[in-house]
């Protein structure tokens, strides 16, 4: 067997070993990532809930939660305030949050999903959301309740 052939086999063998090690560690890495997302979502929901007029409507079970602005009561005023905050966040563009209807109310869906999301990202998102809510609630037609 030539040295060149032997070297190629050694390289292929080392690559195969690295591949199998990486593949076998993926479940643990994925599990750690999901756990981190859940912790970040829990922290984010707590920070948002501490803001006046921002209501987290569900317990964080995984990496998602629902937010409503203004009041937890079914009202067009809070529906509009929630839509306005979502629109401002879309215009601002740092983060993406979608709207949904839940139990007859307009809500903002928050999901912590990217593998790259850090605590600093969550802190920035909380600030951006609180600032957008501040602009909306300062508008006379959407007083905080």
Q: Specify the 3-state DSSP secondary structure of 14.
A: helix
pLDDT on residue 23: 59
Domains of the chain, residue spans: 31-137
Instruction: Look at domain 31-137 and name its CATH class.
Output: alpha beta
Question: Exposed e or buried b for every residue in 127-138, given b needs 16+ CB within 10 A?
Answer: ebbbebbeebbe
Catalogue the long-range contacts made by 137-144 (C-beta closer than 8 Å, 24 or more residues apart).
137/53, 137/69, 137/70, 137/81, 139/84, 141/77, 141/80, 142/69, 142/70, 142/77, 142/80, 142/81, 142/84, 143/70, 144/52, 144/53, 144/70
Q: Which one has a higher pLDDT value, 45 or 25?
A: 45
Q: How confident is the model at residue 19 (pLDDT cuts 50, 70, 90)?
A: low
DSSP letter, residue 110? E
Residue 6 has pLDDT above 60, yes or no: no
Examine the pLDDT at 16 and tell me if it is beyond 90: no
Distance of CA 112 to the CA centre of its chain: 2
Is 56:45 a contact under the CB 8 Å cutoff?
A: yes
Residue 57 predicted with pLDDT over 60: yes
Average pLDDT for 126-139: 95
Residue 79's pLDDT band (cuts 50, 70, 90): very high
Asked if pLDDT for residue 105 goes beyond 90, the answer is yes
Distance (Å, whole) CA 107 – CA 98: 9
Enter the pTM of the model.
Answer: 0.78
Portion of the chain with pLDDT greater than 70, in percent: 79
- Measured on CA atoms in the order 16, 18, 21, 25, is the torsion positive or negative? negative
């Amino acid at each position: 067997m030539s040295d060149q052939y032997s070297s190629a086999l050694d390289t292929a063998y080392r690559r195969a070993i690295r591949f199998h090690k990486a593949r076998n560690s993926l479940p643990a890495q994925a599990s750690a990532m999901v756990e981190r997302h859940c912790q970040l979502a829990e922290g984010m929901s707590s920070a948002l809930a501490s803001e006046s007029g921002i209501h987290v409507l569900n317990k964080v079970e995984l990496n998602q939660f629902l937010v409503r602005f203004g009041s937890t009561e079914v009202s067009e005023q809070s529906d509009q305030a929630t839509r306005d905050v979502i629109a401002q966040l879309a215009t601002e563009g740092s983060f993406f949050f979608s709207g949904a209807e839940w139990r007859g109310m307009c809500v903002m869906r928050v999901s912590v999903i990217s593998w790259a999301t850090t605590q600093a990202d969550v802190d920035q998102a909380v600030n951006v959301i609180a600032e957008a809510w501040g602009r909306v609630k300062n508008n006379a037609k959407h007083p905080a309740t």
